[in-house]
Structure 1
């Protein structure tokens, strides 16, 4: 198809002599899909095969250690090609990618002092120089010792040997990761480098020498035509000794002169463990007083790194690109302006590996929306298998194969939330006759309301609902809005399969005074929002809440898991004084740790008082009486008390409708309250089963 709208995005490109299918690059990300033995197994093969099948121009296989276990931050679930014995299994990986017509690079890295999860055991951590605990630029690092000159040269050999193995395994090129706070970056950055030899901080050439030596040695061993891509921090922020833009541009020039065939640009911000890898998160919960300079914040993080690419392109003749919340539309615009040579993507391709094929076909409405929720990052940083909130098949490619149903069935879905819509979508794809009944006038379940509360992610969440609505209509699902389905409707419909996706039940606060007028239960809050949503969309309603809400100035939130903390954030932004009281030990269950690391300091700054392991006693004229974890009785004064206790399973509906169809299934939060990721996974699995 001649797609002129994405003419630049879809044209082939070159990194060295390797031709990419288009200008979209799947940038490297960890998956935890490697076998604990260190070999590439079926899960990783299926994942990368499916990614290649989706039409992306080039795949960069995830961060692979050049040394093990010292060189990785996620043992034993991180790729590492530190021994020749692994070459045959990596060869199988390149074969499945190449079979789809896609070139494959592999990213090599060495963790150095970086310990973002805090899970690493004590080990011989090495960096450019020795630093004390007090000198470390944040909490996500281990104390390193400085490498001797002999060790520096030994590591050049270690990196080059890894590249040799990659070539033997059939990779078309390698990416050398010298960014973030990995080993190589400790030579670039004055924060880490205190050396006085030829790799020291006296000159920019010295600071770049380690990575340049690696590039030159790889080229010497594999030939000048074997592509080497370099990933570096072009700028560092929130530290007085961080790499400046001017320095980073010169580092890129030195690397190109050493033989690098392309440069991927990144920036890093210290004092947060993932820095600027997800630039849109700089706006969560609110943007800081000053955003890192040099970057483009006009799209709230999308394309933030592009100015770095522009600066580097002025001094090198090789391709330069970046990632960072880019999408096909923005990417095409930057390509046409000559600001990018390629468009790097990760999370959008995790959400929908077929994104490139859908762009080629001109079917943008079929692209599954990435919600920027960071669930993928959260599970990865816990050394768990990579998972996507909206794409249930990610990492389960062999399990989630859409095949025609053996017998076409009449399927009735009750509930238009994520689990119901996904079950309807998958069942319809398999050829079943599907009807979905939603008692309200909108699809999405609680997602539109979540979009109101989550200021930063409103567009992404609404995009997910829009995607589901489009897909189920395209697949012939009959959607009946404003229609509550009970026993009479079921008897009239006569389904072969009845899917109950009606959502969870609201929990109640069972203490004296819980029925007072100034106590806002989650059920009452839900009813109020649903009433106003009859007249206003989520975006409009979100704006109106900044003008007026029927909630007092001082608010006590009872329940501090994900719902309580998100409501607290929402209310603080609307000028309320908030206190959170939680019965459990840990706040914010269900919120990714990356977001918690930003949210809690923001709570501190805004004066949000938090009590954990508290017992709710009663609500009186004076306030909420609690017993603190220290055993002290305390009365918390407030004008409004908002109850955000955990939801309860809707087991009653399953009992009431048992036997109303040959097959009856209760799924999603109706069966077990959880997050969007759980609901969609539940719906997908059932859609494949029936």
Structure 2
């Protein structure tokens, strides 16, 4: 099939393994594996099989557990430390091979990581060096220094594990010697302070560990078994001059090639910025932690993190002849251009496959409007050692990546509410053959998502793409949309639906505090109504610009509500010159915020001296502000010109209750049923649309 992305979809090789195109599904933890002996189950086979079927040229799975000893239960990574796992692992390679796609796995050892990544095996490293950072995963406690015997055991561990993968049908491996993992700690003079044959005194010593691993793998698996190395082309963010430089990285790349490495995957590492080093849009949230002018010049920061790594690939490519891969929020257009201009040979894609496992096929076929877009929300990094999920792809983490077949009986379905849950239900039900009508009493489809986009901004999260996808799919699937039409008893009598789906969103929760009716309180219902009207008139982008000029909000503000809504509104207000205090009656602040974004937002709040109070009791609102009782029992007046309650919504079952006894099937989904966040809404709509 002809495609305008001829370079991206041209075949290539890694060693003797042929790839049908240049698109590589890169490794990233999904935690789709099971505990126990049979770790490859339906979740892992469904996802990696879907990506292979979806058009990837190569699938690289997440790493198995390489830090031993391990518990058999409670670790959702697969294992390669015993022959007993080989038979079960072969089911995964067979699933990927069904679609003519080779499978690799990334192997890495966490090394000095601590925190939520702590295991039975103690954190270890080349040397007992620490560099604490609020954005990192290293403990302040120095790691265990590996002995020579332990290093040699690790060489065997990686080689024997790779041999088991080969026996299970794997076509190659990728070793992660980048980021802040174990191998990089030997390569960088900042982290390596040893005085033995693995020390920093020469490049031969620094590379000895990883070189011995590669040589042993090649010895056991054969020279034709491909080994790709993920490497740092530069390390930044450290004091002094001992961080890994580009010139050192070039020398290391040549060493890799000389010992038989088949390809290189090139990235960078910003010390103390673990997640920001590979999901680099995080470096801009909510604002850069240092002036942008002080960001490393070797990377491209002109796209708010996207394409930042790309300039490093041609630097490494200039000194080797083996294929080089680049990564980092690369889309089809930029990927094709990178291949065409020779900057890299392979394009690494990860989160786009999380959002749509069929991404590559849709790109090749020119079906861009049918791609579920990754909007860089960070949802897929929300949880650790639990099945991960995606904001837009309700299938991610499930046993199937296909819509259910057409319904046996066509039904007349009425969906009330055009938010994400309503649009998802409507488009899926219509695609399966039902006659679907969607009622929306506002001036646009999208519900609170358009409002969230206006608050969040458009440089980091691309929520307009989220909205465009669902609006397009609703239209393409023939949903009859009735805009600015309130669904009432007359509408119910006129439609006579077989199925009524109520997705109207929740109702604002009113705080239980005296003085709520005062004029200095911005009522949640009034605020939402006004903003939705303005968005319908001028759109979220223009409204966001206009609010930088004027807002009906005083200079000193108290926000009641510490969940995601209150925290993000506070960020928005602070950026518009307001002095904000955030209070919550709950014990914690920031519920539903993605952990990395929460860390960075609270760090930013601290720099801005934004007071955040948890566990308070709301006492009284007066024209002077809000009186509270702190969890320590102190009574305080928080002076404010404007008080804005931003609490999670409450269920809204009014329409469903009125329709009882008049419609055979009634469903409430989204915030009107169980107020939560967007991933819950899209998943609820997908599940319901497929069940009708």
So what's the TM-score if we normalise by structure 2? 0.96
Task: Name the residue aligned to 1:246.
Answer: 247
d(CA) in 2 for partners of 1:559, 1:338: 51
Q: Which moved more, 1:357-366 or 1:395-404?
A: 395-404
Residue 476 of structure 2 corresponds to: 474
Q: How does 1:643-654 map to 2 (within 5 A)?
A: 643-654=645-656
Q: Which residue of 2 aligns with 1:233?
A: 232
Residues 648-657 or 564-573, more deviating: 648-657
CA contact (8 A) 2:47 2:357 kept: no
2:337 to 306, 312, 333: 333
What residue is the counterpart of 1:129 in the other structure?
Answer: 127
- Where structure 1 has 5 or more consecutive residues not aligned to the other structure, the ranges are none
Map 1:433-452 to 2 at 5 A.
Answer: 433-452=435-454
Which runs of structure 2 are paired with 1:94-105 in the superposition (5 Å)?
94-105=93-104
- What's the counterpart of residue 350 of structure 1? 354
Please give the residue correspondences for 1:363-378 in structure 2 after superposition, counting only pairs within 5 Å: 363-378=367-382
Post-superposition Cα deviations, 1:222-249, rounded to whole Å, max 9, x if no partner, equal 2221110001222222212432222222
Query: RMSD value over aligned CA atoms?
Result: 2.0
Distance 2:250 2:282 in 1: 25
- The aligned counterpart of 1:300 is 304
The more displaced of 132-141 and 366-375 is 132-141
Residue 386 of structure 1 is matched in structure 2 by: 388
CA deviations over 1:3-55 (Å, ceiling 9, x no partner) = 1x211111112111111121111001111121101421222112211111111
Deviates more, 1:535-544 or 1:392-401: 392-401
CA distance in 1, matches of 2:447, 2:325: 39
Deviations 1:163-222 (A, max 9, x none): 111111111111111122222111112232111222111122321221122112211222
1:459, distance to aligned residue in structure 2 (A): 5.9
Task: Classify the secondary structure of the residue corresponding to 1:118.
Answer: helix
1:120-519 mapped onto 2 (5 Å cutoff): 120-121=118-119, 123-131=121-129, 140-141=138-139, 143-240=142-239, 241-288=242-289, 289=291, 290-379=294-383, 381=384, 383-398=385-400, 401-456=403-458, 460-519=462-521
Q: Hey, what's the Cα distance between the residues in 2 that align with 1:343 and 1:202?
A: 35
1:480 and 1:10 mapped to 2: Cα distance? 41
Q: Deviation of residue 655 (structure 1)?
A: 1.1
SS in 1 for 2:382: helix
Is contact 2:559–2:645 with CA below 8 Å preserved after alignment?
A: yes
Q: CA deviation at 1:333?
A: 1.9
What is the aligned partner in structure 1 of residue 676 from structure 2?
674
Question: In terms of mean alpha carbon deviation, does 328-337 or 567-576 score higher?
Answer: 328-337
1:639 equivalent to 2:618? Answer no
Measure, in 1, the Cα distance between the counterparts of 2:202 and 2:506. Answer: 62
Measure the CA separation in 2 of the matches of 1:413 and 1:535.
24
Q: State whether structure 2 residue 47 is matched by structure 1 residue 43.
A: no
Partner of 1:107, secondary structure, is strand
Structure 1 counterpart of 2:604: 602
Contact 1:235 1:244 (8 Å CA) reproduced:
yes
2 CA distance for matches of 1:293 and 1:49? 39
* Contact 1:104 1:173 (8 Å CA) reproduced: yes
Take 2:134 and 2:444, find their aligned partners in 1: how far apart are those partners?
Answer: 51
SS at match of 2:201: coil
Who is 2:57 aligned against? 57
Task: Report if aligned partners of 2:580, 2:611 keep a CA contact under 8 Å in 1.
Answer: yes
| Equivalent-residue separation in structure 2 for 1:640 and 1:329 (angstroms) | 46
What's the offset of the Cα at 1:456? 4.6
Could you tell me whether the CA contact under 8 Å between 2:135 and 2:273 is conserved in 1?
no
1:79 Cα offset (Å): 2.0
Quote the offset at 1:368 in angstroms. Answer: 0.4
- Provide closer, same or farther for how the CA distance between residues 362 and 491 of structure 1 changes in structure 2, counting only shifts above 3 A: same
Residues matched between the structures, number:
685
How far apart, in 2, do the equivalents of 1:137 and 1:403 lie?
45
User: Residues of 2 paired with 1:406 and 1:53: CA distance?
Assistant: 27
Q: Distance in 2 between matches of 1:664 and 1:121?
A: 47
Displacement of 1:648? 0.4
Task: State the Cα deviation string for residues 145-168 of structure 1 (Å, max 9, x = none).
Answer: 222222222221211111111111
DSSP 3-state at the match of 2:478 = coil
SS in 2 for 1:583: coil
Residues 458 and 539, structure 1, Cα contact 8 Å, conserved in 2: no
Distance (Å, rounded) in 2 between the aligned partners of 1:272 and 1:18: 34
Distance 2:130 2:21 in 1: 46
Can you list the C-alpha shifts for 1:232-290, whole angstroms capped at 9, x where unaligned? 22222221243222222222221121211111112222333424120111110012313
1:316: Cα distance to partner?
Answer: 0.9
**542, 546, 558: which one aligns with 2:560:** 558
Post-superposition offset of 1:328: 1.1
- Between the aligned partners of 2:267 and 2:394, the Cα distance in structure 1 is 29
Instruction: String of CA shifts for 1:498-530, please: whole Å, max 9, x gaps.
Output: 100011101112322211111112212112212
Q: CA contact under 8 A between 1:520 and 1:642: conserved in structure 2?
A: yes
Q: What is the rounded CA distance, in whole Å, between the counterparts of 2:591 and 2:643 in structure 1?
A: 21
- Checking the alignment, whether the CA contact within 8 Å between 1:71 and 1:109 is kept in structure 2 is no
Distance in 1 separating the partners of 2:176 and 2:350 = 16
Task: Output the CA distance in 2 between the equivalents of 1:271 and 1:385.
Answer: 26
Once the two structures are superposed, the pairs formed by residues 492-641 of structure 1 within 5 Å of their partners are 492-641=494-643
SS at match of 1:85: helix
Distance in 1 (alpha carbons) for counterparts of 2:246 and 2:29: 27
Contact 1:504 1:648 in 2 (8 A): yes
Measure the CA separation in 2 of the matches of 1:139 and 1:392: 29
Is the CA contact (8 Å cut-off) linking 1:50 and 1:397 kept in structure 2? no
1:132 deviates by 6.6
SS at match of 1:287: coil
Gaps spanning 5+ residues in structure 2: where?
none
Q: In structure 2, what is the Cα distance between the partners aligned to 1:257 and 1:599?
A: 45
Task: Indicate whether 1:9 and 2:8 are aligned.
Answer: yes
Cα distance between partner residues in 1 of 2:544 and 2:480: 30
Q: 1:562 Cα shift?
A: 0.5
CA shift for structure 1 position 121: 4.3
Mean alpha-carbon deviation: is it higher for 258-267 or for 444-453? Answer: 258-267
Residue aligned with 2:277, SS? coil
Counterpart Cα distance in 2 of 1:113 and 1:438: 53
